[in-house]
Structure 1
């Protein structure tokens, strides 16, 4: 099963660069390359929205490598726990974004 996250940001150029750099590092850690796809961004009321579709190999690698951290989130579903973990991971890499699970 692969997950898609919708990202909301007010600073698309910086945040998208930092997210791509962060995901590249995550690919190196898990050995799962070309593990995600970005959608085209859309703008509305000063916010930019785009989606990141994780391929199952990268998602599983992240879930296995960081299982102890992901399990500590209080979200009700595994997808929401993954999204909460990715939010905190991106925040640690200087990205001020909002994340929600879609599809």
Structure 2
């Protein structure tokens, strides 16, 4: 679980560094940078759901009790998967930047 947290943190920091250096990388609203942002968003949302689900499984019946807040964290992580039009739109934006194909 710690490996997946570190992978997500590294991907987020890498994207932030790329956005902070527009002299080296494309502008923030270019197709390639939007694609990279969507990749990190989908990856981080999936890992958040996976990790909170694993934490609930590890704690057994206590994982769903309100005193440990894991149930709230799980709900919050599921919401991150659906914000900004959901994962399907984000995956479409990723594919769109790799292939210059437009449906007319």
Structure 2-normalised TM-score? 0.28
Rg larger in 1 or in 2? 2
Q: Which has the higher strand share?
A: 1
Structure 1-normalised TM-score? 0.28
Q: Which has the higher contact order (CA 8 A, sep 6+)?
A: 1
